[in-house]
Amino acid sequence: MAILMKKCICFPPPGYHRKMETFVYKLHKSLYGLKQAFRQGFSQFSTALRDMGFTSSQANHSLFIQHHNGASIFILLYVDDFIITRTDSSLISVVQDQLCQRFHIKDLGILKYFLGIEVAHSKAGLYLCQRKYILDILKDSGHTACCPADTPMESHLQLNDSDGSPLDDPSSYRCLVGLLIYLTVTRPDIIYTVNILSQFMHQPRQPHMDAAYCLLCYLKATSGQGLFFSSTSTLHPQAYCDLDCASCSMTRRSTTGYCIFLGTSPISWKTKKQNTISRSSPEAEYRAMAMATCEITWLSYLMRDLGDPFIEPVPWHCDNQVAIHIATNPVFHKRTKHIEIDCHVVHEKITQSMIHPIKVASDLQIVDLVTKALDCDSFHQHASKLSFRNLQVPTGGGSLSVTTHAHTASLSIPLD
C-alpha cells in the first residue's frame, strides 16, 4: 500500500554512495522498509477509517469498529495488511469502495492465509493452523526426516544454565527459538516448552539444543494440528489458572499458567515464570490468579467493544482452595501482608462480580499442560480438551474428528 508522507528525513539507501556521506535526504513519499513508513502508514490509514465513521478499540488500537443500523463491521490492521469481517455482507463492499478512493488496495478474497496462519472455513466453524510455517522450520533446521515424538518435552526434564557444553554457534539456537515463539500463537500445547527454551538465549548449551530438537520431533508428528472454533459454541467465557510451585531449579521461582476459553475454544493462554519467590504454594497461586485476572479484564473490554460484553461472572477454575479463600476473604492478613498490592486486584474483581472462583480437582486442571512437562498419557489427556484438530488425519468418509472438553463428535467439514 502506497502511503504519501509530508516530511521524512532518512539516510541514503544501501548501495547508493556519494562523495559527501554526511548528507541526508528529504523524502516526499515513504519508502517501504523504513522504520518511519510503518508508523506513517498506520497514521494515514487510521485517519481515513475515522473519517469513514470507524472508531478505534480501546482494548486494541489496531482494531477499528463501526456500528450502523444494528449491523457491525470490524477491521483488524497489521502494517499494510488488514482483515475485514462483518455482520452484514453488504457493508464490506461499501467500505472497500471508500478505501479504494483513497488507497491502492488489493482484495485477496476470503481469508485463507494471514501472517503465517492458515485459515479453513466451513459451516461447522473456523480452523486455524500453522502447518506451512512448521514445515518451513523443519526444513530450515534440517529436521524434515526426523523421527516423530509423542510429547514436546521429556517428562520431569530439568534444564539449567550450567550443565553441558556451550554451543559453538549460539545464533542457530536463538534463531530457532525465535521461530518457535511465534508458533505459540496457535499452539498452546508447546508454550511451556518454548518458555523454558527461551530462558537460555543468553548462553545456550547442548542440553538446551537437544530439548529444542525434541520439540521439532513433536512438531513433525503434529504439523497439521490447529485450533477449531465451532460456529455452534456459546460465547460464555471460562478460565483455568494454575502454577508449578518452585519449578525453576536455578531461582526457585514458580511457573504461572492460564488458559481462557470462549465457549469450548481457547482464545488466550500464557505461561510465565513469576518475578519473585513465593513463601508458599497458596501465595504463588494467588499471584497466578492476579495475572489471569488482568487478562480476563482486558478480554472483557475487548468483548464490550465487539458488542458482546461478559454479562455473568467468568467461572474461574483453580485447584488450590486456600488461594481461593485468600482471594474471596481478605482477612488472612498474615499470609498476604507482604504480597504486592497489585495482586489484590483478584479480590476487587471478585467483589465486582467479574470473576467467580471455582475449586477444580487437580487431575482435571487443563492448565497443567502449560505449566509443566507431563508424561505422554497426561499430556494427551489435557491436549484433547483444548479444541485441537488435525486436518491431516481424517476419521473416514472425509469427516473430521472433533474433540472438546464438553463432548466428542464427528463433523463433516468441507474446506473452501
Q: 200 and 170, same structural domain?
A: yes
Give tens-digit pLDDT for 62-81.
899 888 777 888 888 887 78
| Overall average pLDDT of the 6-26 stretch | 58
CB atoms within 10 A of CB 146: 17
pLDDT at 414: 35
pLDDT at 405: 34
C-alpha cell at 101: 478512493
pTM of the complete model:
0.79
**Domain region containing 16:** 9-109
Residue 163 has pLDDT above 60, yes or no: yes
pLDDT at 403: 34
Residue 299 has pLDDT above 60, yes or no: yes
Q: 268 and 166, same structural domain?
A: no
Residue 9 has pLDDT above 70, yes or no: no
The end-to-end CA distance of the chain, in Å, is 27
| Overall average pLDDT of the 141-147 stretch | 87
Q: 138 and 102, same structural domain?
A: no
Burial annotation 378-394 (CB, 10 A radius, 16+ → b, else e): bbebbbebbbbbbbeee
3-state secondary structure of 266: strand
Q: Which helix (H) or strand (E) holds 174?
A: helix 170-183
pLDDT at 182: 93
Give percent of the chain above pLDDT 70.
83
Q: 334 and 254, same structural domain?
A: yes
pLDDT at 80: 75
Q: 244 and 211, same structural domain?
A: no
Which comes out higher in pLDDT, residue 218 or 24? 218
Q: 275 and 159, same structural domain?
A: no
Residue 370 has pLDDT above 60, yes or no: yes
CA atoms 404, 406, 410, 412: torsion sign: negative
pLDDT-based confidence at residue 132 (cuts at 50, 70, 90): very high
pLDDT at 209: 93
C-alpha cell at 8: 521524512
Residue 21 has pLDDT above 80, yes or no: no
| Domain membership flag for residue 70 | yes
Residue 207 has pLDDT above 90, yes or no: yes
- Comparing 30-44, 162-176, 193-207, 224-238, the range with the smallest average pLDDT is 30-44
pLDDT at 334: 63
Give tens-digit pLDDT for 264-286.
888 899 988 887 777 777 778 77
3-state secondary structure of 201: coil
| Domain membership flag for residue 414 | no
| Domain membership flag for residue 416 | no
C-alpha cell at 363: 487431575
Please choose, from the candidates 77, 225, 88, 80, the residue with its C-alpha nearest in 3D space to the C-alpha of residue 152.
225
| Domain boundary residue, one of 77, 109, 141 | 109
pLDDT at 399: 38
Q: Are strands 113-114 and 117-122 parallel, antiparallel or unpaired?
A: antiparallel
Q: 147 and 93, same structural domain?
A: no
Q: 350 and 254, same structural domain?
A: yes
| Domain membership flag for residue 397 | no
C-alpha cell at 173: 539456537
What domain count does the chain have?
3
| Domain membership flag for residue 346 | yes
Residue 206 has pLDDT above 90, yes or no: yes
pLDDT-based confidence at residue 16 (cuts at 50, 70, 90): low
Q: 363 and 250, same structural domain?
A: yes
| Overall average pLDDT of the 297-309 stretch | 87
| Domain membership flag for residue 136 | yes
Q: 242 and 169, same structural domain?
A: no
Question: Residue 292 maps to which CATH number?
Answer: 3.30.420.10
Q: 280 and 350, same structural domain?
A: yes
- Cell match 506451512: residue? 132
Give percent of the chain above pLDDT 90.
13
The answer to whether the beta carbons of residues 110 and 69 sit under 8 Å apart is no
CA distance 62 to 65: 10
Please choose, from the candidates 153, 200, 212, 57, the residue with its C-alpha nearest in 3D space to the C-alpha of residue 373.
153
pLDDT at 175: 93
Q: 211 and 266, same structural domain?
A: no
Average pLDDT, the chain: 79
pLDDT at 335: 62
